[in-house]
Structure 1
Amino acid sequence: MENNNGTDRSAERLGFITRVQSFSACHRLHSKSLTDEENKRIFGKCNNPNGHGHNYKVEVTVRGKIDRNTGMVMNLTDLKQYIEEAIMKPLDHKNLDLDVPYFANVVRYEKHHIILLLLSFHTCRLFTCNNPCYSLFDSTTENLAVYIWDNMVKLLPPNMLYEIKVYETDKNIVIYRGE
C-alpha cells in the first residue's frame, strides 16, 4: 500500500532512539607507563593527585526495526532500566579509578615485557609488548565510552546498540560505535 508520496507503507522501517542520562564521577588521568613529569605535561590539571570531577552526560542510541504492532523500536522503560544497570549503578557518584573494577582492579605484572591483566576474579588476559606498554584502562573519556558500550551491549538485544556519546564537558565529547 502506497501513501501520498509514493512510499510503501508496509515496508519495514528502521528507527533510532536516543536516551540521555547524566551522572557525576571523579577520576585522575595518570598513566603508570609515564613518569610523573610526563603525566603532568600530557594531562595537565587532570593529573591532580587528588583527582577532579565531572558531571558527565551520556547519550545512548539504539536502532532497530519499528515494530508494526507497537510502533516502537523498543520500550523506553526497558532502555531506562538498562541504562540504570549499565551506567548509573556502577558509575554515579563514584571515583572511577578506585570504585569501578574495570579501571581499579587492573593488576599489571611487568617483567620481560609481559603484562598480565587481572580483569576480574575469573578473567585474565596476557599481553606481550616489545616497547614500553601503556595502560589499557586509564579512566579517559574514550575508555569510559568503551566501558559503557560493553555494559550496554550485554543487556540489549543483539545488534541494537548504535552509539554511545559521552559529554565530559559541553566542549569535550567522545563518540563510540563499537569499532
Structure 2
Amino acid sequence: VSLNGIPDKKTGMILSLNDFDTGVGNVLNKLDYKHLDKEVDFFKNNLSSGEIIIKYLWQELDKQFPKNMLYHLKLWETNNNYFECGQS
C-alpha cells in the first residue's frame, strides 16, 4: 500500500502510522482467514481472482484514507506473480 500526500511540516509524515495501520487493518480484517467466495459478501457475486481482489482492496482502502491519498497497491499471488493498480 502506497499513499501520496503533502508531508506535515512538524512530523514529516503524510499520515500517522497508527492511522495507516488502522485503515489497512479495517480492510484486511474483513478478509483474514475467510473463504472469500462464501464469507465475504462482495465475492459471493464477484470472482475472487487476483484482478478482482485488488480492485476490491482499492475500493475499500480508498474509503479509509483522505481523498486521493491512496496511490498504489501491489498484491502478491506467488513469488513470481502479482497484481498492481494505482492512480493514473
TM-score bin, normalised by smaller chain: over 0.9
Kindly indicate which of the two structures has a greater share of residues assigned to strand.
1
Higher relative contact order (CA 8 A, sep 6+): 2
Which of 53, 65, 85 is matched with 1:144 structurally? 53
Partner residue of 1:159? 68
1:98 aligns to 2:7 (yes or no)? no
In the TM superposition, residue 140 of structure 1 has moved relative to its aligned partner by 0.4
Partner secondary structure for residue 65 of structure 1? coil
Q: Find runs of 4+ consecutive structure 1 residues off by over 6 angstroms.
A: none
Partner secondary structure for residue 8 of structure 2? coil
Q: Does the aligned pair in 2 maintain the 1:91–1:100 contact within 8 Å? A: yes
1:72 aligns to 2:16 (yes or no)? no
1:174 aligns to 2:83 (yes or no)? yes
Whichever residue aligns with residue 80 of structure 1, its letter is D
TM-score (ref. length: structure 1): 0.47
Q: Does the aligned pair in 2 maintain the 1:149–1:178 contact within 8 Å? A: no
Q: Structure 1: which 5+ runs fail to align?
A: 1-59, 107-136
Two-structure CA RMSD over aligned residues (Å):
1.2
Number of residue pairs matched? 88
Whichever residue aligns with residue 31 of structure 2, its letter is L
In the TM superposition, residue 176 of structure 1 has moved relative to its aligned partner by 1.1
In the TM superposition, residue 178 of structure 1 has moved relative to its aligned partner by 5.2
Q: Distance in 2 between matches of 1:172 and 1:100?
A: 24
In the TM superposition, residue 138 of structure 1 has moved relative to its aligned partner by 0.7
The structure with the larger Rg is 1
1:83 aligns to 2:6 (yes or no)? no
